[in-house]
């Protein structure tokens, strides 16, 4: 149990260190990612106003059409594409990526690549 807590504390430290530098504006919002063991959540945030502009998650009914698993790389890539499409529909094409202290590999990297493929620039 102590190892899990240490890992969580370390991630939170990395997250705070990154958040000192990464700031979202209305023209270039922050793409924030959270991953749990079962699901992934992504949102575009305008930090100057303190509000979420767009969000997407693997828990949404629209995402889970069919019997897809939600904790896979394929699901992360699809989530990135869905978020990018919603952003482009609202006229947002540039974002700042906030990996929330997670290492840039696995599902986090695939989500970012999916968003880039769909047209987001970061």
How far apart CA 31 and CA 37 sit, in angstroms, is 20
Would the pLDDT of 3 be above 80? yes
Tell me what pLDDT residue 93 has.
96
No. of helices (H) and no. of strands (E), the chain? 3, 4
Would the pLDDT of 72 be above 70? yes
Would the pLDDT of 66 be above 90? no
User: Would you place residue 21 in the very low, low, confident or very high pLDDT band (cuts 50, 70, 90)?
Assistant: very high
User: Where exactly are the structural domains of the chain?
Assistant: 2-117
Contacts of 11 (CB under 8 A, 6+ apart): 100, 101, 102
Would the pLDDT of 74 be above 80? yes
Q: Which CATH architecture has domain 2-117?
A: 2-Layer Sandwich (3.30)
Would the pLDDT of 41 be above 90? yes
8 Å CB contact between 92 and 54: yes
User: Would you place residue 67 in the very low, low, confident or very high pLDDT band (cuts 50, 70, 90)?
Assistant: low
Mean of pLDDT values over 70-85: 95
């Amino acid at each position: 149990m102590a190892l899990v807590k240490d890992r969580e504390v370390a991630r939170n430290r990395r997250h705070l260190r990154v958040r000192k530098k990464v700031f979202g504006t209305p023209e270039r919002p922050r793409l924030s990612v959270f991953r749990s063991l079962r699901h992934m959540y992504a949102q575009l945030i305008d930090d100057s106003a303190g509000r979420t502009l767009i969000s997407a998650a693997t828990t949404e009914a629209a995402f889970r059409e069919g019997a897809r698993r939600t904790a896979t790389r394929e699901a992360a890539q699809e989530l990135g594409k869905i978020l990018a499409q919603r952003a482009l529909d609202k006229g947002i094409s540039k974002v700042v990526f906030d990996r929330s202290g997670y290492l840039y590999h696995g599902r986090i990297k695939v989500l970012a690549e999916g968003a880039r493929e769909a047209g987001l620039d970061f």
